[in-house]
Structure 1
Amino acid sequence: MILLVDKTVIIGCGFLGSKIFTNLKNNNKKVIGTNFQNTSNEFKKLDITNFDFVNSFLNKEKPDLVINCAANTDIDYLEKNEKFANMVNGIGVKNIAKTCKQISSKLIHISTDSVFDGTLGLYTEEDDVKPINVYGKSKLLGEELLQENLDDFIIIRTNLFGYHHQGKFLFNWILRNLKENKEFTGFEDIIFNPLEISFLSDLILKFGNMEYSGIIHLGSDEIINKYNFGCEIADTFGFNKKLIKKGSIEHSSLIAKRPKNTSLSNLKAKKILKMNFPSLKEQILKIREEIKINYNDKQSH
């Protein structure tokens, strides 16, 4: 059954949230966006750790749908700051869920593949969760608190990639190193199946218009390690993939433990949506077309 969503509030207009916001705006939908830092006049400031602020804001806006993208994802920082992690990624979600119940709003909450320990891979929605770092534990806390406080929800576990103008993300880091002809390491023992951010945004909104409640996994069809992911980007953009050296997470200086294979089964999602997903190559090509950076650009500088 298709639901009529008249007004949407997006909490946490960072990388993914701002993409969903723009998607809705471009389709002339009623949408309000928030972020914590309020760096843009387009978004309203909202601290999700303060229940009174969340309650007042959502009661005023009364959206049909709330999409929560707010989170702190700095894994190594959170490993040393567990209380802060639980406040933002746990209690913050509870505050949103409690208010959504009051005003009868549906909530889509963006979670992570890091709620799994990474020993199996291709995790289904029914598989046992067992996070191995503070970030994963705090995101799981958010999932649990949400389910305790609200019935009409969708928890989307995913891993995403894309190009961001501020350059803080994995895709940018890989592309920048390739463009600057710098050698770097790609982990062979970290395996995932991420989705390109624009496509992920479309899928999230499709679920927002469906009468579905529960947990859903969104990931690409292909399972890939970080080394091969880097090589795929190099090939697609026409850079030298020999710059990427094979390495292991075991020899890295990262503080928090990382689950090694967090790939997610997308079978349930594809069955519900009745659609196929583009290949990783197609998703990376889409980014190349959008940002128009390739080997020829590099040669001309």
Structure 2
Amino acid sequence: MNKRILILGSHGMLGQDLVKVFEADQNWEVFAYDRDEVDITSEESLRKKIEEVEPAAIVNATGYNAVDKCETDEIEYELAKKINGSGPGILAKIAKEKGVPMVHYSTDYVFDGEKGEYSENDKPSPISNYGRSKMLGEEEIQKNTDKFYLLRTSKLFGKPGSSAMSKRSFFDTMIELSKDNSLLKIVDEEKSCFTYTPDLALETKKIIEEQIPFGIYHVINEGPCTWYEAAVELFKMIKISVEAVPVSSSEFPRPAKRPKSSVLLNTKLKPLRNYTEALKEYIFTNYESITNIRMN
């Protein structure tokens, strides 16, 4: 009998890649649902689906990610705390009752950015409401179950999800902007690591299958950089003549503070490939119009 995997948030950027990765393996039977089918904030909704599916493992790829909106709007912040915080805690409680391990994703935004680099054991100290909502999720999960994989990640990129709350990645935005602009001002701060969602999905599957010790892990592609440094790499790779101008984050004021440098250090797992290698693959498979990509 095949093992059953329950994936929540299946229409997001990461969720859709998790579905692909598990469906490609005949040893797994995939049960994948998005927010319109299972409500992460409702114990009744979660319990009903978990008892119906009887999964061998649960992967929670749901998330509220409107960083600036929840900084200024109290109603949005309450929603962020439910989706990112108390909801995952409810899920963890039910998972423990059923004896099922769970995977949950967190972010580098749980750190303040003052230290620059952060290991799995560093204490969170968020500087935004979004970061606080994600820290709440970490705390709720650790309080409610012992069988958890808490995977911190950062700057996701991949094919945009079909969910209404799914956002385009930085690289998609840069490619779009480069079509109509010969000069782009790009923030040369907020140093952290990019993460390719197909790589994160594969690593998630590997973690579940290898049954490594439960706990907190940092899963990111190698090669920490600022937004500006990543854009320069992208334009060089696809041979687009755009002048990238490095600027301070003060040029683009936003309601929520971002960590100046929140590089996640992976001290527990085998490193993933450099983000530039993953980016080449992403462009090659998703942008047919860009045929002159420099592949080496």
- What TM-score do the two structures reach when normalised by structure 2? 0.90
Paired residues for 1:163-202 under 5 Å: 163-164=159-160, 168-181=168-181, 183-202=183-202
Taking the TM superposition and a 5 Å limit, the aligned residue runs for 1:104-115 are 104-115=99-110
Distance 1:277 1:294 in 2: 28
The answer to whether structure 1 residue 30 and structure 2 residue 11 are counterparts is no
Render the CA deviation track for 1:61-104: whole Å, top value 9, x for unaligned.
Answer: 11011010111011011112321111111111011111101111
| 1:5 shift after superposition | 7.8
Q: Distance in 2 between matches of 1:135 and 1:117?
A: 12
Amino acid at match of 1:20: L
Query: Which amino acid is the alignment partner of residue 205 of structure 2?
Result: L
How far apart, in 1, do the equivalents of 2:280 and 2:65 lie?
26
Whether the 8 Å CA contact 1:161–1:194 is kept in 2: the answer is yes
- Cα deviation digits, residues 190-248 of structure 1 (max 9, x gap): 11111211111111111111322000011222110100101111111121241x22111
Does 2:48 match 1:53? no
Match of 1:158 in 2: 153
C-alpha displacement of 1:294: 5.4
Identity across matched positions, percent = 26
Are 1:221 and 1:266, in contact at CA under 8 Å, matched by a contact in 2? no
Is contact 1:5–1:64 with CA below 8 Å preserved after alignment? no
Counting only pairs closer than 5 Å after superposition, residues 63-212 of structure 1 correspond to structure 2 as: 63-79=55-71, 80=73, 81-159=76-154, 160-164=156-160, 168-181=168-181, 183-211=183-211, 212=213
Counterpart CA distance in 2 for 1:27 and 1:210 is 15
Alpha-carbon distance in 2 for matches of 1:239, 1:9: 42
Alpha-carbon displacement from aligned partner over 1:156-202 (angstroms, at most 9, x marks no partner) = 00012224277722221011112334533211111111121111111
Task: State how many pairs are aligned.
Answer: 282
- TM-score computed with the length of structure 1 as normaliser: 0.88
* 1:25–1:31 Cα contact (<8 Å) kept: yes
User: How big is the shift at 1:250?
Assistant: 2.0
Q: Which amino acid aligns with 1:214?
A: G
SS in 2 for 1:267: coil
Distance 1:12 1:144 in 2: 20
Q: Is the 8 A contact 2:128 2:256 kept in 1?
A: yes
In structure 2, C-alpha distance between the alignment counterparts of 1:288 and 1:218, rounded to whole Å: 21
Query: Would the aligned equivalents of 1:89 and 1:138 in 2 still touch at CA under 8 Å?
Result: yes
Equivalent residue, structure 2, for 1:7: 4
CA deviation map 1:45-72 (0-9, x unaligned): 1111111111111111110110101110
Does the 8 Å CA contact 2:13/2:159 hold for their aligned counterparts?
A: no
Structure 1 segments unaligned to the other structure (5+ residues)? 38-44, 271-275
**Which one is further off, 193-202 or 138-147?**
193-202
Structure 1 residues 241 and 266: CA distance shift in structure 2, 3 A: farther
CA contact (8 A) 1:219 1:263 kept: no
1:9 shift after superposition: 0.5
Q: Counterparts of 1:209-220 in structure 2 under 5 Å?
A: 209-211=209-211, 212-220=213-221
Distance of 1:124 and 1:241 partners within structure 2:
36
Query: 279, 292, 295: which one pairs with 2:287?
Result: 292
Query: 5+ residue gaps in structure 2?
Result: none
Q: Could you tell me how far apart the structure 1 residues matched to 2:220 and 2:9 are? A: 21
SS at match of 2:31: strand
